[in-house]
Structure 1
Amino acid sequence: MQKNAPASKSGILILLFLTVVINYMDRTNISVAANAIAQDLELTKVQMGVIFSAFGWTYSIMQIPGGLLVDALRIRILYPIILVAWSLATLVQGVVSSFATLVGCRMAIGLFESPSYPANNKIVTQWFAEQERAGAIAVYTSGQFIGLAFLMPVLAFIQDLFGWRGLFIVSGLIGIVWALVWRYFYRDKIIQSPAAVIPSPATTKKEPIEIPWGNIKLAFSNRKLWGIYIGQFCLGGTLIFFLTWFPTYLAEYRGLSDLKTGIYASIPFLFAFCGVLFAGFLSDYLVRRGVSTEVSRKAPIILGFILSAGVIGANYVDSIAWATFFLSIAFFGNGLTSIAWVFVSLLAPQKMVGLVGGCFNFIGGLSAVMVPIAIGYLVQDGDFKPALLLITGLALAGLFSYVFLVGKIVPISADNLEK
């Protein structure tokens, strides 16, 4: 271990956790600013849906290249570069004044964030044993929930002080500073056998980079992998609602002020935080107790999708308290399903973890492309009931995907490729 490296696995988790907080801050600050942007730039609901969606266009398309990049490069080098890049794109949002340039900035953020979650999964695969990974994934994934639970009111307060432009500028500066922190503290964990031979620079030849078409075919041909891909899309559908349209739902449909929206918006994120930690540590505990993978890993996912479908209850209550209850239970369920990344390391061949992670996040990222625009059309008249019905349908589809497509959890290799 090199100087300044984190002394323990807990140090790695702290870095990952805070990086995910910043990652999601830069994805979701647009939702806090949405009402102010729409009024200032005179944008329609459909145009806001396109702005929300633009992040997903590049984020999803670049998942497979991003996964291959993660397999090829050292994380200590890659992560600070993409952190600075997406933070600059976030900052620039604070100085633009048109629909087109906002869309371009959101596309840039999606482009540069695309390798982040495959990189997170590679870090966990390197640093943690199989029976520890769900808990590790739960800890860093919880950053997107607990971070936003506390950040939503803070971001609303920053906007109240400095306006929506100041919100983006402050967010971007935070990310740039964090990139320097990451570069200073993180070290890649490289495991070599005692007999490993390290070639000298004089004898090392640079091999041309080849696209592993056989691996790509495997990643898109396997039924089990398609089961987790579809499940990730459905999981993402619920998540993207909370990351984009949820503050607008509270402000316009439920009639809350901007500051009250920030407070109420934080409650479901706290529930999701509890859900992801509960699922991760319970899952690892069951594995250590010898409980089958089918129960220890799949049960939280299945229960999570069932609870996520409960979002439909908010359509049948008038009280903001009861609506928040149903939305919070649904997001708790989304937190339970958020340990789904563990299935990438459980199913994928070892040398394909980055690629399969990229495919997994590519399909999941398509929800960020499609769902915000779909909701934009569904809520044009101000009624959010069809939007919540859509989220319910996605949750049920995710449930069926894990039950009928994923099946038994066994590692995949080229020899057992399913036709």
Structure 2
Amino acid sequence: MQMTRVRWKVMFLVFLIATVSYLDRTNLSVAAPNIQAELHLTPTQLGIIFSAFSWAYAIAQIPAGLFAGRLKPRRTYFFGLWVWCLLLVGSTSAASFGAWVLFRIPFGLAEAITWPAASVLLARWFPRVEYSQAMALQNLGLVAGAAVAPPIVAAIIAYSGWRVAFIITGFIAGILGTIFYIYTKDDPAEDKRVSAEELAWIQQDKFVEPTSRTPRGFASVLLGRSSIWAVSIANFGLDFINFMFLTWYPTYLTERYHMSLKQMGGWAMEPYIFGIIAVLGSGRLVRAMTDSGLDSTMARRIVIFGGLLLGTLSLFIAAYTANLYASVTAMSFGYAFVMSILGPLWSTPAEIAGPRGAGFASGFVNFIGNIGGILSPLLMGIILQKFDSFTPAIIVSAVITLVCGLLFLVLYRVRKDRVVLENFMKTV
């Protein structure tokens, strides 16, 4: 069965939320040169401000997963996005290093609901065979938001200042949360637009859920599965690279290649344009591989490891290339290959844990991933201040990505772990 218009619209709204979430995060990196000059911040201080978001975002992941599971996606997104709006508007009053840290921490807490809520929605609205394709669309928002932020925010800053950019992007989030709440339902069974035939298709391979409440010990059994750790480690590598680009890449372009704000806004889009193609392509690749007879678990394994390996090679090339065009293009390919694992990676928590455990599992995966998001901007700032060069940081990032890919390859055992969890659910 092809994905219907109703389900595509639901996932398109989730895609827009993911896009705005990364637009809201990335606006700080675009405005960073202006804010750094205005407040006389050192590179290390700027790195701490960048990473403050990730500290809170990582800590909040598991509670956010439980929160999204209980509150359900509609209300989670509605309240969450309006909190984003208020915090972004409030941060325009930040006039010191400490004030910026204090604003970024609650903003990280508020944005932590994004991926757990999406995983809960995915587990309710899609059968397992469509997980990678649906999550590829949702995760495309990550790349799209980062892509549109540099030119949009740079243009607003050029004409009206960085504070106006924060206010505009904040209200976009709040309005989108309201639209999502009005249009969607938490469960397809509650939506009159979903036919009985489509509902049967969605529910064809769901977990057996014999009790109304999550049984005691479920979280412990879930965290004992090596596949959850495999995707968590892969997500660590992904977020390490992602936050390197989200935070320091505009500064990398302006400092290493002496670009103006306008030039940087255009060049900073290239990794994300490549990333959009890669994310869409990987989702379609996994579906094509499964349609041709390959097991979906093996298809994801191949695509995820391949993306991390190719991303590693591209980053090494970028580190040792001095030419502007070759270096930036290699960096863009490195980003794109790593981002290509998003759909296959984020379909795994819901596939293993089912609707009941999807929020918790995705929260844990995001928690481990965002440790990479914490370390990346902070490490970039420290290395830049010590060596006055981005090259060592790029090399370290490539090595980390390679190690994450190898560990993923060893630990990824979805079929075995799914059987263990299904048997556990049947015995309680």
The TM-score normalised by the length of structure 1 is: 0.90
Residues 1:105 and 1:305: Cα distance change in structure 2 (over 3 Å): same
Do residues 375 (structure 1) and 380 (structure 2) align?
A: yes
Question: What's the counterpart of residue 409 of structure 2?
Answer: 403
Looking at secondary structure, tell me which structure has more helix per residue: 2
Distance 1:77 1:64 in 2: 18
Tell me which residue corresponds to 2:359: 354
Q: More deviation in 95-104 or 292-301?
A: 292-301
1:22 corresponds to which residue?
Answer: 20
2:96 is matched with which residue?
A: 98
Map 1:9-88 → 2, pairs under 5 A: 9-88=7-86
Match of 2:335 in 1: 331
Instruction: Name whichever of 394-403 and 140-149 sits farther off.
Output: 140-149
Residue number in structure 2 paired with 1:202: none
Letter in 1 for 2:42: T
Task: Tell whether the 8 Å contact from 1:307 to 1:332 is kept in structure 2 after alignment.
Answer: no
Shift of residue 125 of structure 1? 1.6
C-alpha contact (below 8 Å) 1:311/1:326 kept by paired residues: yes
- Equivalent residue for 1:232? 235
| One-letter amino acid of the counterpart of residue 13, structure 1 | M
1:219-265 deviations in whole A, cap 9, x for unaligned?
33222221111111111111111111111110112211111111111
Which deviates the most, 375-384 or 38-47?
A: 375-384
- Verify the 8 A CA contact 2:61 2:113 in the aligned structure 1: yes
Q: CA deviation at 1:146?
A: 2.4
Structure 1 residues 320 and 416: CA distance shift in structure 2, 3 A: farther
Distance 1:350 1:401 in 2: 27
Query: Which 10-residue stretch deviates more, 248-257 or 282-291?
Result: 282-291
Alpha carbons 1:293, 1:409 under 8 Å: kept: no
Deviation at 1:362, TM superposition (A): 0.7
- Asked whether the 8 Å contact 1:26–1:87 carries over to 2, the reply is no
* Partner SS, residue 187 of structure 2: coil
Counterpart Cα distance in 2 of 1:103 and 1:234: 24
| 2:185 paired residue number | 187
Asked if 1:277 is matched to 2:280, the reply is yes
* Structure-2 separation of matches of 1:105 and 1:144: 22
**CA distance, structure 2, for counterparts of residue 148 and residue 399 of structure 1:** 24
Cα distance in 1 between the residues matched to 2:151 and 2:422: 52
Deviates more, 1:407-416 or 1:328-337: 407-416
SS in 2 for 1:348: helix
Deviation at 1:328, TM superposition (A): 1.3
Shift of 1:349: 4.6
Q: Give % identity.
A: 29
Contact in 2 for aligned 1:86/1:112 (Cα 8 Å)? yes
Match of 2:316 in 1: 312
The amino acid that maps onto 1:167 is A
2:251 corresponds to 1:248: yes
The reply to whether residue 260 of structure 1 matches residue 263 of structure 2 is: yes
**TM-score (norm. length: structure 2):** 0.88
Partner of 2:130: 132
> 1:36-92: per-residue Cα shift (whole Å, max 9, x none)?
111000000000000000011111111111111111122111211000001211111
Question: Out of 378, 385, 389, which is 2:395 matched to?
Answer: 389
Structure 2 counterpart of 1:355, one-letter code: F
Contact 1:254 1:320 in 2 (8 A): yes
State the partner residue of 1:341.
346
Preserved contact between residue 91 and residue 171 of structure 1 (Cα < 8 Å): no
Q: Is the 8 A contact 1:274 1:335 kept in 2?
A: no
Q: C-alpha offsets along residues 204-233 of structure 1, whole Å, 9 cap, x if unaligned?
A: xxxxxx997623322332222211111111
Greater shift in the superposed pair: 352-361 or 176-185: 176-185
Aligned residues: 397
C-alpha deviation, 1:382, in angstroms? 2.5
The answer to whether the Cα contact below 8 Å between 2:58 and 2:371 also exists between their aligned partners in 1 is yes
In 2, are the aligned partners of 1:94 and 1:167 still within 8 Å (CA)? no
Q: Does the 8 Å CA contact 1:252/1:382 hold for their aligned counterparts? A: no
The answer to which of 135-144 and 283-292 deviates more is 283-292
The answer to whether the Cα contact below 8 Å between 2:143 and 2:272 also exists between their aligned partners in 1 is yes
- Measured in 2, the distance between the counterparts of 1:239 and 1:392 equals 12
- 2:228 counterpart of 1:221: no
Q: 1:229 touches 1:363 (CA, 8 Å); kept in 2?
A: yes
Query: Structure 1 residues 90, 413: CA separation in 2 closer, same or farther (over 3 Å shift)?
Result: farther
Q: Contact (CA 8 Å) 2:237, 2:404: kept in 1 or not?
A: yes
Matches of residues 130-169 of structure 1 in structure 2 within 5 Å? 130-169=128-167
Change beyond 3 A, Cα 1:131–1:253: same
Verify the 8 A CA contact 1:16 1:140 in the aligned structure 2. yes
Summarize deviations over 1:378-419 as a string: whole Å, max 9, x none. Answer: 1114200111012101210121122111145441535778xx
CA contact (8 A) 1:268 1:329 kept: yes
SS of the equivalent of 2:185 reads: coil
- Residue 259 of structure 2 aligns to a residue whose secondary structure is coil
The answer on whether the counterparts of 2:131 and 2:347 sit within 8 Å (CA) in structure 1 is: yes
Q: CA RMSD in A?
A: 2.1
CA contact 2:353–2:421 (8 Å) conserved in 1: no
- Report how far residue 7 of structure 1 moved: 5.8
* C-alpha distance in 1 between matches for 2:221 and 2:102: 33
Gaps of 5+ in 1: 1-5, 195-209
- For residue 413 of structure 1, the aligned residue among 404, 412, 420 is 420
* Aligned equivalents of 1:191, 1:159: Cα separation in 2: 45
